[in-house]
Structure 1
Amino acid sequence: MREHSHDLKYPNEVNDLINLDDPLIHGYLLRLIGEDGITLIRNMPEGEVTDEEICNALNPLRAVSKAADDRVKKLNIEIKAAKEKGEETKKLEKELAAAEKEAVTAKENVGDEKEITLNTVRKILFILYENKFTICHRERDANSGWLTFRWMINMDGIYHQIEREKKKLYRNLVKRKEYEDNNIFYVCPQNCLRLVFDEATETEFLCPLCGEDLVFQDNEPFKELLDKRIEEFEETA
């Protein structure tokens, strides 16, 4: 097992499973794609799949209900066509009655199942794609010209991505600490805004939004917090 800075571990093989319950990985993905996104990754079907297939996997009871409704619609169409041709419809009508009963039961079974919509699935997939966590292949139907996107999760680069994010956060903390060290701040007592000394003098120490007198802000507690966060990063480097 190879190890990297900040105690990040890399899998031996590129296809090793990612532990989504690892606090580091879970926290990173939570900020990136939310709980629905983590649920999507946990329940992603194997192989290359369409967004609709993913949505059905995330909403299994709704998928059953939709299939039952589609069956009812199909039978109604077949019965109408048969009647127009003067054909016998008793068998189809019997099938329709059973299908309608199944559709009602399926709809009742949906209950409190949390729905993750197709639009949400697509949004999550494209966020993952932008961060190189999915592989996407496009297929164009020769007759209709319709594009079908097929997706597969590829989390091999997540450890490197987290490492980059941590370095970026560290740089931002250092820059923010320098900013806090090099400035004197005044704030509006109504929490309208926060100004550095030069900006406050330009407004004659009056809030430009509400007119209240600006007051000096002691930023030492915030600077101490920044120092603590920076130290934590440096200790794990």
Structure 2
Amino acid sequence: MLEISRRGSRGLRSRERSRTGGKGGALTKKQRKVRAEKRPPIPNIDLILETAGHLAGEKGEKIVRALVVGELTDEDLAKRTNLQVNQVRSILYSLHESRIVTYRREREENSGWYVYYWKVDPERAIDYLRQHRMEVLRRLEERLAEEESKIFFACDKGCTRVPYEEAIGMEFKCPSCGGTLQPHQNTAIINSLRARIEKLRRELA
């Protein structure tokens, strides 16, 4: 959980006054810009974008693409992505909960306020994607086992498709349109499931 105040319009970019005072440890805007420019390329960026898209859709991908340049505040991200600041904050919160992005805080030189800078966490993003793919693989394997072990019946209009045991209970009548349930050939479904499973296994190897 973020340890950031979300009250009022400050949201995820809330600032805190330094209690220590002075300029120790503060960076100027120029220094921060240089730091961002020297940031090395993010490894496996395509996989990380896929992860962000799974978690937060197209807008999540836009935010991660913007963070490729280095650490940015939520307001910087809003400008680069043409999203509302509140949208950016909400998406950052979602990505942070899954540890796709992290943040650090730094005190501004002039105001003494703390500002939060966001960045991508490549290792955690890849780990999340791997766990997600493993779960998808498990579900596909369960579905394949069911398709291979059962006989299915379906309505001609596509309303219903059920295993033989359920079709008996329905007296082979579609509960939606009243049509007769007929044996359904599932070879295409089985082949599609096998192809998806093989693809995921290669990606996880």
Say whether the fold is shared (TM-score over 0.5): yes
Correspondence for 2:52:
29
Judge conservation of contact 2:51–2:125 (CA < 8 Å) in 1. Answer: no
Q: Aligned partners of 1:32 and 1:235: how far apart in 2?
A: 23
The structure-2 alpha-carbon separation of the partners of 1:161 and 1:17, relative to structure 1 and needing over 3 Å to count, comes to farther
Cα displacement (A) at 1:204: 0.6
SS for the counterpart of 1:160 is helix
Q: Aligned partners of 1:234 and 1:31: how far apart in 2?
A: 19
Q: Aligned partners of 1:41 and 1:234: how far apart in 2?
A: 26
SS for the counterpart of 1:153 is strand
Q: Does residue 152 of the first structure (1) align with residue 118 of the second (2)?
A: yes
The within-5 A match list for 1:52-131 is: 52-59=75-82, 116-131=83-98
Judge conservation of contact 1:134–1:151 (CA < 8 Å) in 2. Answer: no
Q: 1:174 aligns with which of 136, 141, 145?
A: 141
Correspondence for 1:218:
185
Where structure 1 has 5 or more consecutive residues not aligned to the other structure, the ranges are 1-14, 60-115, 139-147
Q: One-letter code of the match for 1:43?
A: A
Cα displacement (A) at 1:35: 2.7
Q: One-letter code of the match for 1:33?
A: A
SS for the counterpart of 1:181 is helix
Judge conservation of contact 1:136–1:149 (CA < 8 Å) in 2. Answer: no
Cα displacement (A) at 1:137: 7.2
The within-5 A match list for 1:126-137 is: 126-135=93-102
Instruction: Provide the alpha-carbon RMSD of the alignment.
Output: 2.9
SS for the counterpart of 1:195 is strand
Correspondence for 1:109:
none
Bigger radius of gyration, 1 or 2? 1
Q: Aligned partners of 1:122 and 1:192: how far apart in 2?
A: 42
Correspondence for 1:196:
163
Q: Does residue 17 of the first structure (1) align with residue 56 of the second (2)?
A: no
Q: Does residue 39 of the first structure (1) align with residue 62 of the second (2)?
A: yes
The structure-2 alpha-carbon separation of the partners of 1:188 and 1:117, relative to structure 1 and needing over 3 Å to count, comes to farther
Deviates more, 1:39-48 or 1:213-222: 39-48
Cα displacement (A) at 1:173: 1.5
Q: Aligned partners of 1:128 and 1:181: how far apart in 2?
A: 38
Taking only the aligned residue pairs, the percentage that are identical comes to 28
Q: Aligned partners of 2:86 and 2:44: how far apart in 1?
A: 23
Where structure 2 has 5 or more consecutive residues not aligned to the other structure, the ranges are 1-38, 106-113
Q: Aligned partners of 1:232 and 1:56: how far apart in 2?
A: 38
